[in-house]
Structure 1
Amino acid sequence: MSVSFVTLPVELVYRILDYQSDITIIFSMRNVCQRFNAIVESYDRYQTITTLHLRWYEIRGIGTQHLANVLRNNTTLTTLNLGLNKIGDVGTQHLADVLRTNTTLTALNLFYNQIGDVGAQHLADVLRTNTILTTLNLDRNAIGAAGAQHIADGLQNNTTLATLNLKRNQIGDIGAQHLADALRTNTALTTLSLGWNGIGNSGAQHLADVLRTNTTLTTLNLGLNVIGNAGAQYLADVLRTNTTLTTLNLENNHIEAVDGQHLADALRNNTTLTILNLNDNWISDKLLNEIGELIDRDTRVTKL
């Protein structure tokens, strides 16, 4: 008597699943037939998968489509890491489509996935209505200023996304301006990473202006940009009155001694900043020592 895999007893299928990885169960054990789907969905480990790391699997657009189909009915997954998978704009669209109805995913990592401004637009459309996602990592993609504008538009009325990483996306001053505009109305975002984006003093000015009124952003990463002396002065001016920012990263930004002094002066009046990163700027040892003495006197600032 021949035995078909799809007619095996449920308990025997469970024992087979015991020897499979989470990735194999999700990608290879689904959509064989309706009966097998039902068995997989009733399997205890499948019901408790909350985190899935698919970093560097090169699943591309087609693999992302298959994953999206699985996510449509999944009610347990909260964290999904798809870094280095070349999903592109097409794969991003598949994910965006399912995120419109998904009610469990809170953290999505799309690091280094060849996502451009079109993919950013798909994600922005999701941000307009999604009330579950709290963390989005788009580090090292290519959304540019146009993609930053799409994301900013999506953030205007978003009420849940708290952490956004847009490092290494070539957004420039224009992209920074769009995001600053979004922060005028957004009341959810607490952490914004914009490092390595070619942002100059103009972009820094737009961000500084919004920090005068924004009361939710606590962490701003502008490391490895080119804000220079003028940009540093804009930020120093706002630090005198801002009462919410606790972490500011300005490493490697072509900041010279005179504007390092402006930042030091601002710290005398600021009561909330606890971490300030000024590494790899053009600030003399003498001024760094002076700032260090200020930090020693003011225990509120815990890191330079």
Structure 2
Amino acid sequence: MNSATEYQVSTDFSRILLCIDSTTPSARLAGFARQLATEKTQVRIVGVLENARAVFPLGPLAGFNLSAAHAQLLKAVKDGCVAAHECLTASGASVDSEIIDLVKDGGDAAHALAHEAQKWQADLMVLGSRHHRGLLRWVERAASAPVLKIASCAILVVPEQCERDWSGRPQRILFAVDGSPASLEALRSGSKLAAAGALFRAIYVVDRAARVTDFVPLAVLQDAFVEEGKVALAKAREAFAPPRDAEGVMLDGALTETDLTSDDVPHAILREATRWQADLLVMGTHGRRGVARWMLGSVSGRVAELTQMPLLLVRKNDSR
């Protein structure tokens, strides 16, 4: 199923919060933010200085000098902020920076960043992410997952192993939709990042993977999934309806499917994003319960863990 409509590119994100820690590849992360900034953009660089005891929980047992470790972390954060500041200043944006010291202020990075975003009224937060295995992966997941849940603004996640660099704004943007208010909000927000003449593609994943918990015939479920997918794509087309005189970019809509076994919605989304060679993947962070029985709120978290391309996560703004 394919459809096309036109949509006028929206205005830019005007207040971007760029988050740096001691391990962030700050120059590269700032490079992504720079492509989104204009002379009218305000950018705040926030360096998060974590407690060395939290970063190196086994340090004291190994005889580590935590004071020296703290000094090294502070230097890394400061250097990262300076590198990001130099990169972003060249865009013409208004740039300032600050360091949040969790040793002095207490708390955790996730809540500190969410609080800063709310206080500063950011409309976009830019974060780096890493995909480690084993214990490191568990520690990072525990630290980063709350940011996705509690931040009220849109979040752009840039994986460390992302092979793409944006030369200008993204030209190919893929939206994973489910018809929920959050996914429609993501359509509107994602358009703010688009280059002139960018290609937009909206997909709905028909979940065909069999489960022992399903109590109705799989064929019946699949038919329901397809019908719900058609409705979701119709809502996406409606949300993208342009003014009559608008010169816009194309939005293509399609159903895609999981494999029958050993597959799930997040992997299907990422396969389609890779196949279509997307520059950016966009999702809502809260879906609705429906016959499809998958929620973008949980699916998006898994996609964030797996993705190797930039991912924009958008929470529904209830004030609209």
Same fold (TM over 0.5): no
TM-score, length basis structure 2 = 0.26
Larger % of strand: which?
Answer: 2
Larger RCO, structures 1/2 (Cα 8 Å, 6+ apart): 2
Higher radius of gyration, 1 or 2: 1
TM-score, length basis structure 1 = 0.28
